[in-house]
Structure 1
Amino acid sequence: MAEVRHHKAAEEPSREHPQIELGLNAAIVMVREQQPYILVARSGAEEAGTWDALPFGPFAPRAHRTLEIGLREWVKRQTGIELGYVEQLYTFGDRGRHEEPGGGHMLSVGYLALTRGGAEELMGSHWSPWYAYLPWEDWRSGKPAILTDEIEPRLKAWAAKTPAPGEPARPLRRAERLKIGFGIGGVWDEEKVLERYELLYEAGLIEEARRDGRAAANQWSDLPELGRPMAFDHRRILATAMGRLRGKLKYRPVVFELLPPEFTLYDLQKTVEAISGTLLHKQNFRRLVEKGGLVEATGNVSTETGGRPAKLYGFRREVVLERPAPGLRVKAGRG
């Protein structure tokens, strides 16, 4: 699924009048069998090779009254999915993020969308585990080995080097940024997904930096694949979506957009863990849910657990009227 670009042969962009195009990207998230998935498709774009891409389409103001309407129409046309929950993330427009044939410049408006999934015909798209792209973000089995063995030693070596001439001055030193982003010498914050991706890109440690011609990537001769690369700046958009969703869990009941109408408390906990990338204490989590008044028993039970029947619950919608931030303020634990 290629990023569509329209260029008039007779009109060459110039420095004074650059050609600007507006695209719409959707990070569509689903949780199934305790794993979070992202909807992707092969980009098909020459400069992107065959890397995975997020669903994408250009904004056509004459056809789409709003950006969100345009996004929904493109996703429906390309994947067959009718989007439910949609939230605008950010506008991505950094120059040099990817090849720009013809000299045009692409602005991408990224969106986070949540779905329960179903039996839709995906029309060439497919669900892919989102931790395949950002494997250092999944701490459910302890600290990922890719951090200890591959990422942290290289980031420390990068932080110890003197910044290259002409590199933009930053208020924080490299080592301080590693402490904040990766918790090196500090504490890991699961919400800082984008900050971590940006550090890896700046240090030249991921394939997108090499593909985009970043000088920092030339210093690494033995670099393993640190997560599956994506077309254009789509992995950056995915990192933004992951961080936003992790933060949103704590003050909005968005997790219920990923669950069926009836669910067990076990299902709810495992869905939160899948998104946050951390394990939670069972009893503490259940006390938090009960205290928050987020769910109510439906009177039905599930026998799928293999043990004694488990109570089924539903989202108690009245909670959004009772307090301003009805989320799950879970505290991530680290082993």
Structure 2
Amino acid sequence: MANPRGSDVTAADASISDPHIELGLNAAIVMVRNQQPHILVARPGAAGPGTGDALPFGPFAPRAHRTLEIGLREWVKRQTGIELGYAEQLYTFGDRGRHAEPGGAHTLSVGYLALTRDAGEEKMGAHWSPWYTYFPWEDWRAGKPEILTEEIEPHLKEWAERPPPPNAPARPLRRPERLKIGFGIGGGWDEEKVLERYELLYEAGLVEEAKRDGRSAANQWADLPEIGRPMALDHRRILATAMGRVRGKLKYRPVVFELLPAEFTLYDLQKTVEAISGSLLHKQNFRRLVERGGLVEPTGNVSTQTGGRPARLYRFRREVILERPAPGLRVKATRT
């Protein structure tokens, strides 16, 4: 019998092309505490036993949630007790093979970035975890991370010299070229390319998620210790996207002030930018950039908690949003 739509699809083909799909919502909630960026991690085992740390997440229920963001906010409150403030959608993640239990419904994950200045009270088993725990190679504030020199770069160079598998997708760039762009091997380090670096590590089989997902490349590194703490499902990939997004937005949007109290010192502002970017900044250049850009204004108050002489307190000058199309902090990092 002919297909009424004129298609040649057989019943067997239809069963392949008609997957069961679920829509999930995930939130990378960022806060800076003690000069360290933290993310909110859901209660242990939230994504299933043995799956690693999980971002707050849950399925989208269209009958209960009028919008994706409403659904996200409800799941975050249910799992952590926290009311979200600033939030923006990141990306939709739909790769196969990023789940601990293959064979179930295929999940499309809609990732969100949320920023908060108030850590709040840890509830329902949720807790704040430093994001460099998951991406130790991204923090250059004390110089080039040893894990890059001792573990990541040697193994990536070895991987790059191998021929790609026969079924590998065609790419416009060769592996050494991708390493130069992502990890700055033979080039410069771009702090925004967090996701590109994680994807290279995943493809090379160097992260635990690749081993868990059955990537053949991971068999080459069976005895290699963990490179950063793994996360549940595709949550480390979502966190990498959030990190790259907020690092990029620092340069053209005043998002850093979502992470600071209403009044702050210029030292606090600089250390928050450094914490997020993973790079040190030149003090005087940074202050000139902030003051000339009209991003802040003095409050007339001072802080006596600096350990030295009182420091002037500032606040975000909101009028700058109307004055400039891209009121961010285009600072130049210093790396050793």
Q: Fold conserved (TM > 0.5)?
A: yes
Distance 2:296 2:263 in 1: 10
Is the partner of 2:17 in helix, strand or coil? coil
* Counterpart check, 1:109 vs 2:104: no
- Shift of residue 101 of structure 1? 5.0
Match of 1:43 among 42, 45, 68: 45
**2:45 maps to amino acid:** S
1:68-127 superposed Cα distances (whole Å, 9 cap, x missing partner):
111111111111111111010000000111145553100000000001124334221000
| 1:199 alignment counterpart | 200
Distance 2:46 2:195 in 1: 26
Q: Is the 2:82–2:120 Cα contact (8 Å) retained in structure 1?
A: no
Q: Which runs of structure 2 are paired with 1:208-219 in the superposition (5 Å)? A: 208-219=209-220
1:204/1:288 Cα in 2 relative to 1: closer, same or farther (>3 Å)? same
Root-mean-square deviation over aligned CA pairs: 1.2
| 2:56 alignment counterpart | 55
Is the partner of 1:119 in helix, strand or coil? coil
* Counterpart check, 1:141 vs 2:142: yes
1:243-302 superposed Cα distances (whole Å, 9 cap, x missing partner):
000000000000000000000000000000000000000000000000110000000000
**2:241 maps to amino acid:** T
Q: Which runs of structure 2 are paired with 1:98-177 in the superposition (5 Å)? A: 98-177=99-178
**2:201 maps to amino acid:** L
Is the partner of 1:103 in helix, strand or coil? coil
TM-score, scaled relative to structure 2: 0.94
Is the partner of 1:208 in helix, strand or coil? helix
Q: Is the 2:205–2:215 Cα contact (8 Å) retained in structure 1?
A: yes
Q: Which runs of structure 2 are paired with 1:1-335 in the superposition (5 Å)? A: 14-41=15-42, 42-46=44-48, 49-335=50-336
**2:304 maps to amino acid:** T
1:147/1:27 Cα in 2 relative to 1: closer, same or farther (>3 Å)? same
- Shift of residue 50 of structure 1? 4.7
Q: Is the 1:43–1:231 Cα contact (8 Å) retained in structure 2?
A: no
1:330/1:170 Cα in 2 relative to 1: closer, same or farther (>3 Å)? same
Q: Is the 1:23–1:106 Cα contact (8 Å) retained in structure 2?
A: yes
Is the partner of 2:66 in helix, strand or coil? coil
Distance 1:76 1:52 in 2: 18
> Which 10-residue stretch deviates more, 17-26 or 219-228?
219-228
Is the partner of 2:281 in helix, strand or coil? coil
**1:232 maps to amino acid:** L
Is the partner of 1:155 in helix, strand or coil? helix
**2:61 maps to amino acid:** A
**1:127 maps to amino acid:** W
Is the partner of 2:152 in helix, strand or coil? helix
Distance 2:85 2:314 in 1: 21
Distance 2:162 2:207 in 1: 18
Count residues in correspondence.
322
Moved over 6 A (4+): none
Distance 1:121 1:271 in 2: 22
**1:135 maps to amino acid:** P
Distance 2:46 2:84 in 1: 24
- Shift of residue 43 of structure 1? 3.2
**1:273 maps to amino acid:** E
Larger gyration radius, structure 1 or structure 2: 2
**1:307 maps to amino acid:** G
Q: Is the 1:303–1:310 Cα contact (8 Å) retained in structure 2?
A: yes
1:153-174 superposed Cα distances (whole Å, 9 cap, x missing partner):
0000000111111111100000
Q: Structure 2 unaligned segments of length 5 or more: list them.
A: 1-13
Is the partner of 1:321 in helix, strand or coil? helix
TM-score, scaled relative to structure 1: 0.94
Distance 1:332 1:59 in 2: 40
